[in-house]
Structure 1
């Protein structure tokens, strides 16, 4: 018998539970944290190339322990991080204090942001869309928050896990983009939601992930044109 779909709040509760449980050790995994100076420098170069010159107002959604937020702050941007898992936010705040970066980290829902219209010039998100029950709703919400002419910048991938794990055993069928998406498919989704000038490039260098990448990673950007 087919199980009826879970409601969005039930799915989000499971998502929060999963990432809360992983917060303590999240940065220890080679593909998640920054472990060497060379890895840090390479990520800074990638982000600098895609964020452009000048100081920008950036909202980092699904910020986790603040890995990307801290790199963006190091590049001189004004950064705020949002995540649904409070344990992740606690870790991010502690890291910001240790490094001296002034970053506001807040608990929030990627699909319903408590942020004013046109509040930022750029939204970033790393490996987030696959965890969302309503990813197209989220992309529309992100466009509301980004000023016209601003951009949405996603670090994503396609991994096709053979078996779901932990809480994802219960909810993977309720996540439309579970396992990620190949870049051409995600680009089509962004374009269908109204973003223009969508471009991407692979992120296949082992230095970025602390090991030879096991999945197809890439970075993708689209312009908000409303």
Structure 2
């Protein structure tokens, strides 16, 4: 089980190892990849509602294989994807090439982004905050790179697994939001870290996940104060 006070770099290395190991088959799972036109259209509708209609500079943090990045690019946004796992980024770049989408995929740490302040209009992340040793610090960092009045939009969930698995057996106790949180609890975190106008909505349509949802999924967003 988890060891308390583990060095964050060691935690991140185990997390990286986990996701690099899953990169080759990640999109094969119906609730991860896009497997039908109907599923794609439904995700586009969700992202359009939360990202807005006007083209924006978007940072997809923890982009993985680029699923959300490519959907946002299809909506006309200028997208950069960042992830800590090189194998995931390799898959994302190949998918962007095949789709003829101009998305920059960069290796980086979600908690310490190498981007200028106020350089994007929107930060998006899907199922990321539970993997971070310092999610509160990450939220502050994301606000730093978002221009005042911009948004942070998270696709999240509450998994409540019985036991951690794989590398997470060793680091779960070092991850404050491991297994996710119900939306009201994550709302409190976002408000405490300075976001305003925080709202959330369920994402329980089976079309989104390619199956009946097995966990509680939702989208939550807040505004970076001016």
TM-score over 0.5 for the pair: yes
What do the CA deviations read for 1:61-107 (whole angstroms, capped 9, x no partner)? 00000000000000000000000000000000000000000000000
Structure 1, unaligned runs of 5 or more: none
Match of residue 16 from structure 1: 16
Structure 2 equivalent of residue 171 of structure 1: 171
Question: 1:3 Cα shift?
Answer: 3.9
User: Which segments of structure 1 move beyond 3 Å, counting only runs of 4 or more?
Assistant: none
Question: Residues of 1 paired with 2:184 and 2:205: CA distance?
Answer: 20
In structure 2, the partner of 1:92 is 92
Secondary structure of the 2:112 match is: coil
The match for 1:130 is 130
Q: What is the Cα deviation at residue 5 of structure 1? A: 2.1
CA distance in 1, matches of 2:112, 2:31: 28
Do residues 82 (structure 1) and 73 (structure 2) align?
no
CA contact (8 A) 2:60 2:125 kept: yes
Structure 1 equivalent of residue 52 of structure 2: 52
Cα displacement string for residues 6-42 of structure 1 (whole angstroms, at most 9, x for unaligned residues): 1100000000000000000000011100000000000
Q: Counterpart in 2 of 1:70?
A: 70
1:203 is displaced (CA, Å) by 0.1
Counterpart of 1:189 in structure 2 is 189
RMSD in angstroms over aligned alpha carbons?
A: 1.1
Q: Distance in 1 between matches of 2:224 and 2:201?
A: 19
Q: Does 1:142 align with 2:142?
A: yes
Provide TM-score, normalisation by structure 1: 0.98
- Structure 2 Cα separation of the partners of residues 80 and 4 of structure 1: 34
Query: Using the alignment, how far apart are the partners of 2:3 and 2:120 within structure 1?
Result: 40
Shift of 1:137: 0.3
